[in-house]
Structure 1
Amino acid sequence: MAARTGREFLNGLSKPRELWVGDDKVSDIVSHPAFAGAANTMAQIFDLQHQARDVCLMPDPETGEPINASHMIPRSRADLERRHACLRTIAEFTVGLMGRTPDYMNVTFAGFAGRADEWAVNGNERGASNLVAYQKFLARNDISLTHTIIHPTIDKAKGDVPEPGNEVALHKVADTAHGIVVRGARILATLAPFADEIAVYPAVPLMAGTDAYALSFCVPMNTPGLKFICRDSCATPPNKFDHPLSSRFDEQDAFVIFDDVEVPRDRVFIDANLVAYNTVMATGWYPNIMQQTMIRAQTKLEFAYGLATRMAEAINDASPATRQMLGEIWTYAEFARAVIHSAELEAFEYGNGVWFPNGPPLAALRAALPTWFPRVAEIITLIGSHNLLAAPTQAQLADPKLRPLIDRYLRGAGDLKAEERAQIFRLAWDFVGSALASRNELYERFYLASGARNYQLAHVLAPKDRARRLVDGILGAQPKVVDEHEVLERRKINLPGEIRR
């Protein structure tokens, strides 16, 4: 099939699935008011790859058919630059508000397949082979893939991983002639209503004796026994003037129940193999996926800076306090740009001929974002003040009796018309004050672990040789000589289990 169009994507959503939102068991994803806006946005993203084909499409290495560049297994620094251009194009379309567009999982599985040697440990050669085959299927059929990797929290005092005998966490219950049967639950499948398939793969390492929970696989969303319970919808009616973001970008999140789901043998990547489960995410996964997600974050920060600037201009706010806050947002965006550039410039081969960006700069940026994004929302709120609550709707502007009054009393500074001012501040409210804004702030605080865990990770990954040498110089200690090979090995990420998420 190769790269799909938006229409082909929407047709794929017609397959029935057990999915609930609010009071509804949804039978038609495309037309349901909770999903219609984001479904249309997703279709536009699939069309975008054809409109920007020089940037977003590349030939499949084996078939020559056009596939999205996010499926690329990078084997050079130039490949990472090529992929960057595609990821940035997709991120700009949603101004960074959709964190789980299909390119996220495309990049993830390209990284997994590129390091299939890591997945083949401890006798897991068949699982690794299945994974490589699935990644080709994912790319060549342009599948929209979601994932669910976290065990549900029932009793926080018992930790983040299941103990033996835990019936809630996803686990294997049987072998069949065709595969395995799994039961339990996982969270949180972002993009679930708009996915063709769902992936399960490792997160926090498991403890000894929990082999039944050591699973990785992919299955279609309509697989018997799969059930999805969506959070309350943040979607609003399809009016881009009144709701420019929440009418388009609610990517949804779902709790996933596996009610005795049979997984075909060729879709199983880890089958109760604890050693493989606990090691495959420890090296290349982090810097690989961080390229995608940090490009998205940078785009969102740049959008926020542009929005805040337009707000200030709309009311001619050139006060020192506002200029300082605008400069603060720009600083975050510029730091993000510089970090990504540095990580890509310092990319190297992680093994098996696969290149990923340098991990520590990306780890530092990821640790800062859960603080930066709430602060950005606070700044936009402070600049907007009461103006965020005084932005007429499109219908109010269309009222012949109201419009002259709105034009007189709600115009912007200089020659900015009331309609333009309303549009700017309604956009700002949708970014910081709507239900979607609250969901997105929660997302930025906790996706890929909390800020606290990421600061711990940043410390673990931080290169320490130069810092220690500077201290040792003052203490009068003899500096240690480190050869180039040792430096390269230290640059490779080895995520500690307690903070890997």
Structure 2
Amino acid sequence: MPARTGEQFLKGLADGREIWVGNEKVSDVTDHPAFAGAARGLAGTFDLQYEHADDCLMPDPETGEKINVSHMIPRSKADLMQRHKGLQRAAEYTVGVMGRTPDYMNVTYAGFAGRPDEWGANGNERGAENLVNYQKFLRRNDISLTHTIIQPTVDKAEGDAPKPGNTVSLRKVGESEHGIIVRGARILATLAPFADELAVYPGAPLLPGTDDYALAFCIPMNTPGLKFICRDSCAGSLNSFDHPLSSRFDEQDAFVIFDDVEVPWDRVHINCNMDVYNQVMWTGWFPNIMQQTMIRAQTKLEFAWGLATRMAESINSVQPGTAQMLGEIWTFAELARSAVQAAEDNAHDHGNGVWFPQGAPLVALRASLPYWFPRVNEIIRLVGSHNLLAAPTAAQFADPKLRPLIEEFMHGAGDVSAETRARIFRLAWDFSGSALASRNEQYERFYLASGARNQQLAHRLGERARADRLVDRFMTEPYSDADISGGAAKKSKKVGQAA
């Protein structure tokens, strides 16, 4: 089938999945107050495909039906630039607030399917074939896919990887005629209430002797035994005036429990193959997926700069300190844009004829964002000051007695009306200070690992040839007589004596 509409996406969510929020098992995520706004918001990304078809859609290479460009397996730099347009459209729709729009996993699995040679190594040919077939299913049915790849934290002193005998982490516990049986838990399935299917694949290398934990597969959200325990909702309400972002973009996060879940054989991509599990994510995955996630991040930073600037203008804040902070956000946005462009301009064949962006600029950006985004929120709150807490609601504007007073006393500088000022500051608060803002800041700090881990990774991955050459120049110079005798110091002393 061709790319879906928003209405088709929403209908697909009524599948009997087991979603819990608070003490409530939710029967319909499209109607529940914790989820309805985000369900409609995400539906907009599906409608977007048709509103901007030239950027967002492409023909399936085998069937010719229109599919989202994020499913593309790039074979050239031109392909990456075409994909960039579609990814940017999705990022602009959510202004980067939703980190797990379906294009994230679409790009991930297109990258996986482009390298079946890696997934099929060490005797995993059947798993690789299943993965390639799954990617065709994913793109042809326009599936909304989420993932859960991190091992649950029980005792940090034990390390992040499960040790043999761990009964909490997801593992294979048996086989049936139809597939493998898995039990345990994984975190953190962002977008879980709004996904059609769930993916499990490597998040970090495993320890020797833990082959049963080396799994990769994809299954429907309503698979028997799957249970999703959601965090508290950050959806303020469905009121887009009062909560312009949290009313539509709370993508949710869920702890996933696999209670003896059967995974069909044709959905298994790694079946206790430690060699493949520990290697497959260390080559093309990160430069491929980071095109999507860094376009999203750059869009979010540019939105933040525009929002903070509009906020300052609405109250005529022209102090040098304000301009400096606004320039700081612009610097983050421009460095992000430049990094993405450099990575795309230097794209190359990563093997098997698949083209991904250059990794180094994206690694540097990945290591910087966990520090930039909290600072952006701080700047917006500093520029906004008390004004962020003095923005009337839609109901207050609608009150015939209150509105004249609000318009008299709560307008902005110059010709900025009270309603315009309120919209600006409510948007700024929802972005930087609300429950959604707090969740998103935590997300940005950790969703691609912490800043500290990424800086360590950047150091290990850095190309040292030129840096070493610059240093070696000073390591190989021969000693001179002056170096040995301290001639320069003696000469200085003689000059002083003559004076």
Query: How high is the TM-score relative to the length of structure 1?
Result: 0.95
- Change in 2 beyond 3 A, CA 1:392/1:191: same
Q: Distance in 2 between matches of 1:361 and 1:43?
A: 32
| Structure with bigger gyration radius | 2
Q: Distance in 2 between matches of 1:237 and 1:368?
A: 33
2:126 corresponds to which residue? 126
1:461 deviation in Å? 1.6
1:498 corresponds to which residue? none
2:483 corresponds to which residue? none
Q: Distance in 1 between matches of 2:160 and 2:167?
A: 14
1:468 corresponds to 2:443 = no
Alignment of 1:323-338 (within 5 A): 323-338=323-338
The amino acid that maps onto 2:443 is Y
The amino acid that maps onto 2:381 is T
Q: Distance in 1 between matches of 2:2 and 2:155?
A: 45
1:459 corresponds to which residue? 459
SS state of the match for residue 37, structure 1? helix
Residues 108-128 of structure 1: per-residue CA shift (max 9 Å, x gap):
000000011000111000000
The amino acid that maps onto 1:291 is Q
1:313 deviation in Å? 0.3
1:306 corresponds to 2:306 = yes
SS state of the match for residue 122, structure 2? helix
Q: Distance in 2 between matches of 1:270 and 1:252?
A: 28
2:251 corresponds to which residue? 251
Q: Distance in 1 between matches of 2:390 and 2:339?
A: 38
CA RMSD of aligned residues (A): 0.8
Residues 283-310 of structure 1: per-residue CA shift (max 9 Å, x gap):
0001000100000000000000000000
1:477 deviation in Å? 6.1
1:284 corresponds to which residue? 284
1:95 deviation in Å? 0.1
Q: Distance in 1 between matches of 2:477 and 2:37?
A: 63
2:264 corresponds to which residue? 264
Q: Distance in 2 between matches of 1:416 and 1:154?
A: 52
The amino acid that maps onto 1:437 is A
1:389 corresponds to which residue? 389
Q: Distance in 1 between matches of 2:42 and 2:421?
A: 29
CA contact (8 A) 1:183 1:258 kept: yes
1:367 deviation in Å? 0.4
The amino acid that maps onto 2:30 is V
1:347 deviation in Å? 0.6
CA contact (8 A) 1:130 1:266 kept: yes
CA contact (8 A) 1:202 1:278 kept: yes
The amino acid that maps onto 2:301 is L
Q: Distance in 2 between matches of 1:401 and 1:60?
A: 58
SS state of the match for residue 351, structure 1? coil
The amino acid that maps onto 1:69 is V
1:476 deviation in Å? 2.9
1:213 corresponds to 2:200 = no
1:401 corresponds to which residue? 401
CA contact (8 A) 1:223 1:261 kept: yes
1:421 corresponds to which residue? 421
Give the % identical residues: 73
1:493 corresponds to which residue? none
Q: Distance in 1 between matches of 2:261 and 2:342?
A: 44
Residues 465-491 of structure 1: per-residue CA shift (max 9 Å, x gap):
11111111233369xxxxxxxxxxxxx
1:316 corresponds to 2:311 = no
The amino acid that maps onto 2:323 is R
1:187 corresponds to which residue? 187
CA contact (8 A) 1:22 1:233 kept: no
SS state of the match for residue 190, structure 1? coil
SS state of the match for residue 173, structure 1? strand
Where in structure 1 do 4 or more consecutive aligned residues deviate above 3 Å? none
Alignment of 1:414-453 (within 5 A): 414-453=414-453
Bigger mean CA deviation after superposition, 292-301 or 456-465: 456-465
1:354 deviation in Å? 0.4
User: Which residues of structure 1 form unaligned runs of 5+?
Assistant: 479-501
